[in-house]
Amino acid sequence: MHRELIHLTVNGERYEVAVPPQKLLLDVLREDLGLTGAKRGCDDSSCGACTVLVDGLPVLACAAIASCHQEAQITTVEGLAAGGELTPVQVAYGEAGGSQCGFCTPGFMMTIHALLAQNPNPSDAEIREALSSNLCRCTGYMQIYEAIRLAMKRAQQPAEARS
Residue 12 touching ligand FES (CB under 6 A):
no
Size of the site for ligand FES (CB under 6 A): 21
Q: With CB under 6 A as the contact rule, which of the stretches 8-16, 46-54, 77-85, 145-153 interacts with ligand FES?
A: 46-54
Write phi, then psi, for 44 (nearest 5 degrees).
-140, 30
Cα 132–chain centre separation: 14
Binding residue for ligand FES, selected from 6, 10, 19, 48, defined by CB under 6 A: 48
- Closest distance of CB 19 from ligand FES, Å: 18
Write phi, then psi, for 19 (nearest 5 degrees).
-140, 160
Residue 119 touching ligand FES (CB under 6 A):
no
Cα separations in angstroms, 127 against 42, 92, 123, 137, 141: 23, 16, 6, 18, 11
Q: Parallel, antiparallel, or unpaired: how do β-strands 51-54 and 73-75 relate?
A: antiparallel
Residue 140 touching ligand FES (CB under 6 A):
yes
Binding residue for ligand FES, selected from 36, 46, 70, 157, defined by CB under 6 A: 46
- Closest distance of CB 42 from ligand FES, Å: 4
Start-end of H helices in the chain? 25-27, 88-96, 105-118, 124-130, 141-156, 159-162
- Closest distance of CB 100 from ligand FES, Å: 4
Residues that bind ligand FES (CB under 6 A): 40-42, 45-50, 60, 62, 99-104, 136-138, 140
